[in-house]
């Protein structure tokens, strides 16, 4: 090696002329050993791997595309830094009698030995006796330049991140102080040479910026933080989601909404009436949000969903040991709704005891937890709902008349979907947006015939049923296609095959009755539309036919109709068919 060393005022400088960049690997202390039997390559004590530049290049591009430039840069800087640290340790452990300069020069040699670059030290002040460290190095044949040229094209800023990291990690470890290198010019961004400059870290004006690259990547933290944000946004979207149901242009709906909004100003208990699925909870939320309790809790309880023997504890809370299973004292929904609004859906399902307690809350604004004798005061706005005629329940002796009068002080009837058909396209649009986002699938919308069918149908299950239909149709639809009539009809239609129709060899529906040739679900749809038949007519006919063929046995009829027994029984009930 042709090298010149100068002692200049105790500063050790080292220089290599341009022509002397050939490194003598023999002089490099570490030994490379290859253990074929183990499939291992050793650089002294370090296990190393021979990694292909091409693979690394593709990897870098992928990382770049995944996490962006700044993170990728930091990633490779740190990778280089780790490698430099290991080699720094190696150099520190080299021959005891070697000078600091000799030890320092192991770094460039190892760097070359690793095949990453041919470093050419242009200027070196090690500053052994406390003077600043300074180094200028020209990186010849940088593998990172080649990677950039192949995978990334011309860069906007220097791209030998791994080399910079290596030099920083190596120098810091060897010199036992914080040293940062930066690349001041780089072939990857169009300069003539790759030049790195190393200084005591604090000597850099942009110290904090450089340092931040070497700090733990907060990607995961950031992801977690984002996750929290997303969840918060989701919640507020859910809020909007329910509020969006409140949107409607039809007159019957607007009237109901007007009533609800009017009630929200007072403290009067509101009773929401209407069929199942018309969006009573949504209305209750709308009422809550337009009231002065909007920033207070809104608690919804479906009384039918809670076992009768638990309903009291659920609503009013319980003290420990009140009954078997009451292992801790806890507040009920009323307490959680304090100062806010409590929505009691299917209020007719309340047990007589729960009805008595509810009446007391409404009259006295007080209650006791189950098993407790402490009287608690509460301020809750009550909104109740039912899809059953409460006065019938009173007549039948299932519901207290005094509670009924209390609750029905301000009744509001929510119209069924069939009473507000003009709002159907609006809902279709709304649910399509919702489920397209949920399933990550785009369609062009509902076909005109499909929309016509949706408007013709009677919607016994109301908005909820429409939502289910749209969700199912979207799942079945082709990406980028239209939601056609067949998709809206769904898989229940081929069940007709057991009636007057059969599946032919092509899987198409054919009629035994030669006068009506029904070859596909499309034909059924056309037939229905031509004859102004709604889906409910079809459903009812199907149910009755299945029952007839099943000799009046629900389970057999359900099997014939391709439904589960509960689903079939539910539809029977919904269609008012008694078995």
CB of residue 444 to Zn ion, shortest distance in Å: 50
Q: Which is nearer to Zn ion, 167 or 557 (CB)?
A: 167
Instruction: List Cβ neighbours of 164 (8 Å cut-off, separation of 6 or more).
Output: 77, 80, 158, 181, 182, 183, 196
Q: Which residues are registered as beta bridge partners of 273?
A: 386, 413
Among the listed ranges 74-82, 136-144, 215-223, 476-484, the one in contact with Zn ion (CB under 5 A) is 136-144
* Part in contact with Zn ion (CB under 5 A); list of ranges 87-95, 192-200, 240-248, 486-494: 192-200
CB-nearer residue toward Zn ion: 140 or 242: 140
Instruction: Please identify, using beta-carbon distances, which residue of 160 and 384 lies nearer to Zn ion.
Output: 160
Q: Strand 40-43 and strand 298-302: pairing?
A: unpaired
Stretch that binds Zn ion, among 157-165, 382-390, 492-500, 552-560 (CB under 5 A): 157-165
End-to-end CA distance of the chain: 102
Among 186, 303, 337, 432, contact with Zn ion (rule: CB under 5 A):
186
Question: Under 8 Å CB-to-CB from 452, ≥6 apart: which residues?
Answer: 529
Give min distance, CB of 10 to Zn ion, in A. 33
Contact flag: residue 117 with Zn ion (CB under 5 A): no
Q: For Zn ion, which residue of 77, 112, 147, 160 counts as binding (CB under 5 A)? A: 160
Q: Judged by CB, which is closer to Zn ion: 186, or 535?
A: 186
Q: Which of residues 38-97 bind Zn ion (CB under 5 A)?
A: none
- Cα–Cα dist 400/420, whole Å: 33
Q: How far is the CB of 160 from Zn ion (least distance, A)?
A: 3
Q: How far is CA 295 from CA 90, 290, 333, 340, in A?
A: 64, 10, 17, 8
Residue 158 beta carbon to Zn ion: minimum distance, rounded to whole angstroms: 5
> What is the 3-state composition of the chain as percent helix, strand, coil, each rounded to the nearest 5?
50, 15, 30
C-beta closer to Zn ion: residue 195 or 337: 195
Q: Where are the beta strands (DSSP E) in 118-204?
A: 118-125, 134-140, 179-185, 195-200
CA dist 547 and 447 (Å) reads 34
Which of 138, 400 has the CB closer to Zn ion? 138
| CB of 155 vs Zn ion, minimal distance in Å | 9
Nearer of residues 140 and 289 to Zn ion, judged by Cβ = 140
Give me the sign of the Cα torsion angle 92, 96, 101, 102.
negative
Residue closer to Zn ion (CB basis): 194 or 301: 194
Instruction: Give the H/E segment covering residue 411.
Output: strand 410-413
Alpha helices in 477-512 (DSSP H): 485-489
Contacts of 373 (CB under 8 A, 6+ apart): none
Binding-site size for Zn ion (CB under 5 A) equals 4
> Nearest approach, Cβ of 159 to Zn ion (angstroms)?
6
Look up residue 62 and give its two tokens. 């992928």
Q: Can you tell me which of 116, 121, 194, 348 binds Zn ion, judged by CB under 5 A? A: 194
Residues lying near Zn ion in the complex (CB under 5 A) are found at: 142, 160, 186, 194
């Amino acid at each position: 090696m042709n090298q010149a060393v100068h002692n200049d005022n105790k500063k050790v400088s080292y220089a290599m002329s341009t022509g002397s960049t050939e490194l003598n690997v023999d002089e490099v202390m570490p030994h490379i050993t290859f253990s074929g039997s183990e499939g291992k390559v050793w650089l002294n004590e370090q296990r190393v791997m021979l990694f292909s530049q091409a693979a690394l290049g593709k990897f870098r591009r992928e990382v770049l595309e995944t996490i962006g430039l700044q993170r990728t840069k930091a990633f490779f800087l740190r990778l280089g830094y780790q490698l430099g640290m290991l080699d720094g340790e190696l150099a520190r452990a080299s021959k005891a009698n070697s000078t600091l300069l000799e030890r320092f020069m192991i770094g460039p040699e190892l760097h070359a030995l690793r095949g990453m670059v041919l470093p050419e030290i242009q200027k070196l002040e090690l500053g052994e006796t406390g003077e600043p460290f300074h180094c200028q190095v020209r990186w010849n044949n940088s593998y990172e330049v080649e990677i950039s040229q192949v995978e990334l094209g011309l860069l906007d800023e220097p791209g030998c991140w791994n080399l910079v990291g290596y030099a920083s990690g190596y120098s810091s470890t060897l010199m036992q102080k914080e040293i940062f290198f930066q690349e001041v010019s780089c072939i990857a961004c169009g300069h003539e040479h790759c030049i790195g400059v190393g200084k005591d870290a604090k000597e850099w004006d942009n110290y904090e910026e450089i340092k931040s690259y070497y700090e733990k990547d907060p990607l995961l933290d950031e992801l977690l933080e984002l996750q929290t944000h997303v969840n918060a946004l989701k919640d507020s979207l859910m809020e909007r989601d329910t509020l969006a149901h409140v949107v409607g242009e039809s007159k019957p709906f607007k009237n109901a909404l007007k009533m609800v909004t009017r009630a929200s100003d007072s403290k009067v208990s509101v009773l929401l009436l209407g069929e199942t699925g018309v969006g009573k909870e949504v209305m209750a939320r709308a009422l809550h949000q337009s009231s002065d309790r909007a920033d207070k809790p809104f608690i919804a309880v479906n009384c039918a969903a809670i076992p009768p023997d638990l309903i009291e504890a659920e609503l009013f809370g319980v003290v420990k040991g009140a009954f078997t299973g009451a292992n801790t004292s806890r507040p009920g929904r009323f307490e959680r709704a304090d100062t806010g609004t409590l929505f009691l859906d299917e209020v007719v399902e309340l047990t007589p005891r729960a009805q008595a307690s509810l009446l007391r809350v409404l009259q006295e604004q007080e209650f006791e937890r189950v098993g407790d004798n402490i009287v608690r005061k509460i301020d809750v706005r009550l909104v109740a709902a039912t899809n059953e005629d409460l006065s019938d329940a009173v007549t039948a002796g299932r519901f207290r008349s005094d509670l009924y009068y209390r609750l029905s002080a301000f009744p509001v009837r929510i119209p069924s979907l069939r009473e507000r058909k003009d709002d159907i396209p609006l809902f279709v649009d709304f649910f399509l947006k919702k489920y397209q986002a949920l399933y990550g699938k785009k369609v062009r919308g509902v076909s005109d015939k499909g929309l016509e069918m949706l408007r013709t149908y009677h919607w016994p299950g109301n908005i909820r049923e429409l939502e289910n239909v749209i969700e199912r149709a979207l799942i079945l639809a082709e990406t980028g296609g239209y939601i056609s009539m067949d998709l809206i009809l769904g898989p229940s239609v081929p069940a007709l095959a057991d009636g007057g129709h059969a599946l032919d060899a092509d899987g198409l529906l054919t009629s035994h009755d030669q006068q009506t040739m029904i070859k596909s679900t499309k034909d059924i749809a056309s037939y229905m539309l031509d004859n102004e038949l709604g889906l409910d007519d079809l459903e009812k006919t199907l149910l009755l036919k299945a029952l007839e063929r099943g000799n009046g046995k629900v389970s057999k009829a359900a099997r014939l109709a391709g439904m589960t027994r509960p689903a079939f029984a539910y539809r029977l009930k919904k269609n008012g068919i008694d078995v």
